Structure 1
Amino acid sequence: MSISRHYEREFVRTFFTSPAAVEGEDDSAKMIQSAAQLRGMQAPDVWVPDNEDATAPSMRDEGVQNIVDVISEYGSDFPGEIHPRVVWHRESPTTRYQGFQQMLEVADPANGAVENLDGFVIPEVGDIDDWKKADEFITIIENEHGLEEGSLSMSVIVESGEAELALGDLREEMGKPSNNLERLFLLVDGQVDYTKAMRAMTPTGELPPWPELRHNTSRGASAAELIAVDGPYDDIRDVEGYHKRMTENRAKGMTGIWSLTPGQVVEANTAPLPPKTGSWLLEVGDREVELDEEDGQQVYSGGDISLETIGDGQYLLEVKGDQQELDEDELREELLNMTAYVPSMDDIVDSMEEFEAAKEAGKGAIAMTRSTTLVIDDIEVNLSNDRMWDEATYQAAQTPVTLFQDVYEHRPDQHEELEEMYGADVVERATSVGN
């Protein structure tokens, strides 16, 4: 399926919401004014002035005016995309009409904001018929204001079982002449309201992790050529947990995540990018430990693994109390199975360039060798393995580089930070490899 898009982004790392109006403040627009002036790694790929959950119902009329004023003043210089969230609900015609009125006001060219506006975020959607209602409202707004049809994107927040089921209908429904669903951009998970809608409970009252929802949203986005974004991670001080969640998401094909603070924006903007330096990991029970590099060797200094010689060419390897007697070849094979390498940006680019050169020379597959010396309890073990690279391997390795290229193209405000991270030479090579 090929869908005509009015945007070019293939990846969104960060979805940052900020209240459109703050109650009890001298300037109720202070939060979105601050967000609109974020730059570099602190600025999200998608900024969402939020006139729904983050804004009290009594402040939402003022929130609409604040959105118009702030986007008019700051929007042209904001480095990411701007997609305000309006009110909506699958079971409330009144709320849907209020959302329509909010969008109609924000998108009015006479108010000066629409030229800096990329689209709208629609929360609390239901089945596919409800998505079409939102789409039709936006089509009416475009026609009412003389805008090009499809010029405003629509992103939805998946917060109910009905919306999750609708993900399976998108591929068939998009592109029909009876709708403009081609305007869809992001599919965003909203785990809090989803938990409420599902009547789910946990002993501690914490949110369930909902891996199935994240998988289904990522699958729906892939099938319909859209972008999937995970919902909020509300423990804003748990940086390690935030990183773990993002790592799990990327394994599902979901690069983007909701960010609640500028600090989370920085973490989410940088985490998906390939690391500056490569690292070796050693599997210890059910976790992986990053090894320390010393003089070009990888050193394990923990207490869960021990290694000793017990005779000529014989070794005793103990992992968390489990012992094995191994000869040198067996030891090397066992440790190879326990280690993994996380490639740096430079490593990935090197491998891609090497494969491109081999392909140009007429080779369909080549072996890439990775070797190191692992040190456990002062015993050195030389490890080396070959990985066959063919076209499929090359395409898979290209994904993080394609992400980097997408970021580099659409976020020139981050160029300086990227060059500081990787070096100008690596950045130059990474922007050209694979093209």
Structure 2
Amino acid sequence: MSTERHYDREFVRTFFTSPTAVDEDDSAKMLRSAAQLRGMQAPDVWVPDNEDATAPSMREQGVENIVEVVAEHGADFPGEIHPRVVWHRDDPETRYQGFQQMLSIATDDRDAITHIDGFVIPEVGDLDDWKKADEFLTIVEHEAGLDEGSLSMSVIVESGEAELAMGNLRAEMGRPANNLERLFLLVDGEVDYTKDMRAMTRTGELPPWPELRHNTSRGASAAGLIAVDGPYDDIRDEAGYHARMRENREKGMTGIWSLTPGQVVAANTAPLPPEEGTWLLEVDGEEIDLVEEDGTQVYDGDAVEIEDLGDTYVLEVGDDERELDEDELREELLNMTAYVPGMDDIVDSMEEFEAAKEAGRGAIAMTQATTIAIDGVEIDIEKDRMWDEATYQAAQTPITLFQDVYEHRPDQHDELEEMYGADVVERATSVGD
């Protein structure tokens, strides 16, 4: 089976759910609000949620609200629309209800289905269960007069069965007996996964489940799909949300569930290359951002101290204290620092490597230089990084993400130009072609 993707988007940053019906005078209030989000506040994937986010007694009204709101606003919504319906691997009645929800949405005369890109199926089990959902979608397409495979299917991995199924997905997709090529997102659902695994923590908090996130990212990569992390429930913990996204990106998982418009903005912007390059000081496994002052990178914490003795220096890092000459101190600081390239840096480096490759050179050295200031002591450092084709391809990932966003989210063009500048945006959209 090829890992060729069967959809336009290569990246999804945000998976935003909205209740389909609430117990208020306007039961579709939350849907209407979400449908009118634009720019960085609008998600890449909007999920009108007729499962967990909507009370069982309101789900029939929820189907009606999806049709009404999407028919009215769907054409102008800048992201994709993927309603979540009810489903359960162990309950045929619930699966049938999910089928009826999809059928009602797809065959309604108001043609909301023309603005819907697919459906999200929760609580899936083994691959046989995934195939049942796929078969229902094929029937829905037939009943709605749609081309077979025109609706995508995303699943939420909320059980050990579903986690194991991802390992067999690559071999099953593309067989004549199924339409699993319609798969789009693999989304983690850590809350129900924790329940299914009968896991417990002392505080009652969810385990971090790094293995699940790794396995979902691996499964998506092997099958040519997109991996999305589950919800981060502590909506006030912005630092924790950013840390979670950073950990995910290191696993190849760009997307994350967003519960609030604020989380949508954070998740939309966090994966993009930084506006400016920054220097880090690494101390005891912690990365500390240095502050630039007039071209000098300044550290003003207590974890690292330098004393100038005239001909030598005393470097103190935690409990470790050493006397060093200037070259030795420079070497130590080189080992303790790292550079985070900004968008302009990445584009410059890629353009320079492309020019070198065009001239017949297979590798070039890129240099970053700065001055580090600690306790008033200033030391000039330079870092060289050898760029070859493999380095170039790795550096291309954040640029490919940016290009994907720029292509599919024209509503964010103004904000992107404000972030980076029109010239950098123009160069970033063409580099790497």
Aligned residue in 1 for 2:101? 102
Partners of 1:71 and 1:56 lie apart in 2 by 20
Q: TM-score of the superposition, structure 1-length normalised?
A: 0.98
Q: Do 1:3 and 1:182's aligned partners in 2 also have CA atoms closer than 8 Å?
A: no
Q: Which of 328-337 and 197-206 deviates more?
A: 328-337
Q: CA deviation at 1:3?
A: 5.7
Aligned residue in 2 for 1:413? 411
Aligned residue in 2 for 1:15? 15
Partners of 1:83 and 1:119 lie apart in 2 by 5
Q: CA deviation at 1:110?
A: 2.1
Partners of 1:120 and 1:114 lie apart in 2 by 11
Deviations 1:277-336 (A, max 9, x none): 111000122311111111101111111111012352x22100122112222222111111
Aligned residue in 1 for 2:314? 316
How large is the RMSD of aligned CA atoms in angstroms? 0.9
Which 4+ stretches in 1 moved above 6 angstroms? Answer: none
Q: Report SS of the residue matched to 1:263.
A: helix
Q: Do 1:5 and 1:183's aligned partners in 2 also have CA atoms closer than 8 Å?
A: no
Verify: 1:59 aligned to 2:61, yes or no: no
Q: Report SS of the residue matched to 1:302.
A: coil
Q: Where do 5+ consecutive residues of structure 1 fail to align?
A: none
What residue identity is the alignment partner of 1:386? D
Partners of 2:51 and 2:307 lie apart in 1 by 62
Deviations 1:64-87 (A, max 9, x none): 000011110000000000000000
Aligned residue in 2 for 1:431? 429
Aligned residue in 1 for 2:354? 356
What residue identity is the alignment partner of 1:371? A
Kindly report which structure 2 residues correspond to 1:31-70, keeping only aligned pairs within 5 A, or say none: 31-70=30-69
Q: CA deviation at 1:2?
A: 2.7
Deviations 1:8-63 (A, max 9, x none): 1000000000000012x001100011000000000000000000000000010000
Deviations 1:143-190 (A, max 9, x none): 122110100000000000000000101100000000000000000000
What residue identity is the alignment partner of 2:225? L
Aligned residue in 1 for 2:171? 172
Match for residue 379 of structure 1 among 377, 380, 397 = 377
Aligned residue in 2 for 1:343? 341
Q: Report SS of the residue matched to 1:107.
A: helix
Partners of 1:4 and 1:103 lie apart in 2 by 27
Q: Report SS of the residue matched to 2:372.
A: strand
What residue identity is the alignment partner of 1:20? T
Q: Which of 108-117 and 405-414 deviates more?
A: 108-117
Verify: 1:27 aligned to 2:26, yes or no: yes
Q: CA deviation at 1:4?
A: 6.4
Q: Do 1:230 and 1:258's aligned partners in 2 also have CA atoms closer than 8 Å?
A: yes
Q: Do 2:17 and 2:258's aligned partners in 1 also have CA atoms closer than 8 Å?
A: yes
Among all aligned residue pairs of Structure 1 and Structure 2, give the percentage whose two residues are the same amino acid: 79
Q: Do 2:330 and 2:379's aligned partners in 1 also have CA atoms closer than 8 Å?
A: yes
Aligned residue in 1 for 2:70? 71
Partners of 2:15 and 2:139 lie apart in 1 by 26
Q: How many residues align?
A: 433
Deviations 1:96-126 (A, max 9, x none): 0000000001111523101001000000000
Kindly report which structure 2 residues correspond to 1:263-412, keeping only aligned pairs within 5 A, or say none: 263-312=262-311, 314-412=312-410
Q: Do 1:4 and 1:182's aligned partners in 2 also have CA atoms closer than 8 Å?
A: no
Partners of 1:324 and 1:220 lie apart in 2 by 48
What residue identity is the alignment partner of 1:100? F
Kindly report which structure 2 residues correspond to 1:136-285, keeping only aligned pairs within 5 A, or say none: 136-285=135-284
What residue identity is the alignment partner of 2:379? V
Q: Report SS of the residue matched to 1:28.
A: coil
Q: Do 1:120 and 1:153's aligned partners in 2 also have CA atoms closer than 8 Å?
A: yes
Q: Do 2:3 and 2:221's aligned partners in 1 also have CA atoms closer than 8 Å?
A: no
Q: Do 2:67 and 2:108's aligned partners in 1 also have CA atoms closer than 8 Å?
A: no
Partners of 1:295 and 1:19 lie apart in 2 by 50
Q: Report SS of the residue matched to 1:111.
A: coil
Q: Do 2:20 and 2:28's aligned partners in 1 also have CA atoms closer than 8 Å?
A: yes
Partners of 1:150 and 1:269 lie apart in 2 by 28
Q: Do 2:371 and 2:380's aligned partners in 1 also have CA atoms closer than 8 Å?
A: yes
Partners of 1:402 and 1:414 lie apart in 2 by 16
Partners of 1:373 and 1:4 lie apart in 2 by 46
Q: Report SS of the residue matched to 1:49.
A: strand
Q: CA deviation at 1:213?
A: 0.3
What residue identity is the alignment partner of 2:328? E
What residue identity is the alignment partner of 2:401? L
Q: Do 1:109 and 1:115's aligned partners in 2 also have CA atoms closer than 8 Å?
A: no
Deviations 1:240-281 (A, max 9, x none): 100000000000000000000000000000000011111100
Partners of 1:333 and 1:127 lie apart in 2 by 54
Q: Do 1:282 and 1:290's aligned partners in 2 also have CA atoms closer than 8 Å?
A: yes
